[in-house]
Amino acid sequence: MPEEDLVELKFRLYDGSDIGPIRYSSASTISMLKERIVSDWPKDKKIAPKVANDVKLISAGKILENSKTVGQCKNPFGELPGGLITMHVVVQPSLGKAKTEQKRNWTILQGKVLVSVPYCKTECDGEDAEWEV
């Protein structure tokens, strides 16, 4: 594989530690990266994803879509040739344990990620639930 087709990535976890750096092909999908993150996740962390869908990857303030490739997600501004790209990892475990379990609301506003973590004041089984932030 030609050297210019490889992109060096590291993944910053919630506590400031990293997975990587690891070199990936520009044709690798975000879904493939998430699978690798789940398999390489440090065993000593209290919060850990169980499956790739529990992981959100953020780069340049945007949540990356599973179907996109690394090459499509590279930020063209300020990138140095052969430079290392840091992607932030957010773990959003699948909901389904308890009705009153904490739910997360992801909002994208003008390409920036805003995360609010509301909690449910009443039964959280439908649209009539009362939420407080």
**Mean pLDDT throughout 46-67?**
91
Per DSSP, helices labelled H in the chain are 30-40, 70-73
In tens, the pLDDT along 91-119 reads 987 665 434 444 555 555 545 555 554 54
Q: Which CATH architecture has domain 6-91?
A: Roll (3.10)
pLDDT of residue 60: 84
pTM, full prediction: 0.66
In tens, the pLDDT along 42-56 reads 999 988 999 999 999
Q: Report percent pLDDT > 70 for the chain.
A: 61
Question: Cα Rg for the chain, rounded, in angstroms?
Answer: 17
The residues spanned by each domain of the chain are 6-91
pLDDT of residue 71: 86
